[in-house]
Amino acid sequence: MNSHTFHPSVLREYDVRGIVDETLSVKDAYALGQAYGTTIARNGGSKVCVGYDGRLSSPDLSSALMDGIISTGIDVKCIGLGGTPMLYYSVFALDTDGGVMVTGSHNPPNYNGFKMMVGKKPCFGEAIQKLGALTKASDYETGRGAVENVDVFDEYIDRLIRDVNMKGFKVAWDPANGSSGPAVAAMVKRLPGEHIVINAEVDGTFPNHHADPTVEANLQQLKDVVLSEGCDVGLSFDGDGDRIGAVDSRGNVVWGDQMLAIMSGDLLKEVPGAPIIADVKASQVLFDRIAELGGKPVMWKTGHSLIKDKMVELSAPLAGEMSGHIFYKHKFYGHDDALYAGIRFLNAISSQGGNLDALMDDLPKAINTPELRFDCEETRKFEVVKEVRSQLEAAGANMSTVDGVRVLTDDGWWLLRASNTQAVLVARCEASTDEGLARLKKELVQALAAVGVDAPDSF
């Protein structure tokens, strides 16, 4: 057997992802299938699910992946085109030993990749690096598996609507021409109220706007529909349906941590005192609100796989990230399904008066920067954060070091962390006043300068 080496940029912290025909090819997909199938076999497994998104390259990549998997003696249940959450659901519903989703997530159309589960848990970090080691060593199991096409679409929609408990809202939905479009269109037919769905057609060129709901410009079309049609709320999804964005009836963005604050108000009525997890980029408003509601706020590392693991450790019923990944273990499976999160968000609005605008107005106002990302060499980014942390410790700063450094001051907080997936540093600041925000930004710039890093002009 031939040794296979992946491009150094594609084996990432949470998934495998690259630029099609530049850093990622069908040969990579086949080799990954061999390594993944081998891992499943050596774990005592015999069958896995595979699904793919609507990108133009996804059918070929998924075909090569499945060929690689069955060459190791593992059987494949192919669920076909759909969102990543439908693949996650299928692993539970069909009780398989893992699953792989072929998806480029929220990246541009020329990207693609693979999100994986081993057993019922995410495959990430060291486990992904081990797949690379298997391909390099050509250390594969061999056998004769088979591919079976399995349609789980209707069952998946049934499962999504099982927990509906909402009033009849007027809602605009934007799947952004991603692979969750058909599921959104089918789901809303079974919800109370009036629903307008735009961009439901799966189109791997993403002709209307980029499929990333965390960038406000990508929500403009949704805002226009909400305002012109007099909707109560608008919901948007990324390219593979595992991240959610929202706007209220005034066209204001409801960010991921604000959604989580509203969801917490509903959940903590049913599960008093429960731990609720959010990543280090989330607003202090969220952590304070969870505590006010009697819950246990838990700040944790950014990254959907890391959050899922922490949920299992703490038996947390709900978690979320600023990036729009929302995880429900309460009544669900603990993975990030943006369609299910949309239903639970509408439930939460219903149970707390039925008016999203009023719930938003009730949240304390904070002034914050967007997520500021700036280039830093891969070999240097973690060292920069370590050096900044050492200086702050020497100065006796009040900070959390769960993921990078999050420094608390009388003005608010600032964050500096290294991205796990790109050669960038990530920063964010939040204060209660404009003057306070300016002071926090200055502190951050000075902390970077002290270790020889120039902050970008956007600071």
For the chain, give every domain's residue range: 16-151, 155-362, 367-449
**CATH fold of the domain at 16-151:** Alpha-D-Glucose-1,6-Bisphosphate; Chain A, domain 3 (3.40.120)
**pLDDT at residue 54 in the model:** 97
CA torsion through residues 119, 342, 301, 451, sign: positive
| Domain 155-362 superfamily per CATH | Alpha-D-Glucose-1,6-Bisphosphate, subunit A, domain 3 (3.40.120.10)
Report the DSSP beta bridge partners of residue 248: 233
- Give the number of other CB atoms < 10 A from CB of residue 272: 10
Q: What pLDDT tens digit does each residue of the chain (459 aa) get? A: 689 999 998 999 889 999 999 999 999 999 999 999 999 999 999 999 999 999 999 999 999 999 999 999 999 999 999 999 999 999 999 999 999 999 999 889 999 999 999 999 999 999 999 999 999 999 999 999 999 999 999 999 999 999 999 999 999 999 999 999 999 999 999 999 999 999 999 999 999 999 999 999 999 999 999 999 999 999 999 999 999 999 999 999 999 999 999 999 999 999 999 999 999 999 999 999 999 999 999 999 998 889 999 999 999 999 999 999 999 999 999 999 999 999 999 999 999 999 999 999 999 999 999 888 889 988 899 999 999 999 999 999 999 999 999 999 999 999 999 988 788 999 999 999 999 999 999 999 999 999 999 888 777
Q: What is the pLDDT of residue 196?
A: 98
Predicted model pTM: 0.95
298 and 291 Cβ atoms separated by less than 8 Å: no
Residue from 57, 63, 105, 236 carrying the catalytic annotation = 105
C-alpha pair distances (Å), 430 with each of 367, 419, 421: 6, 19, 24
Identical topology for domains 16-151 and 367-449: no
- For domain 367-449, which architecture applies? 2-Layer Sandwich (3.30)
Report CA torsion sign: 248, 254, 258, 262: positive
- The verdict on whether 105 is a catalytic residue reads yes
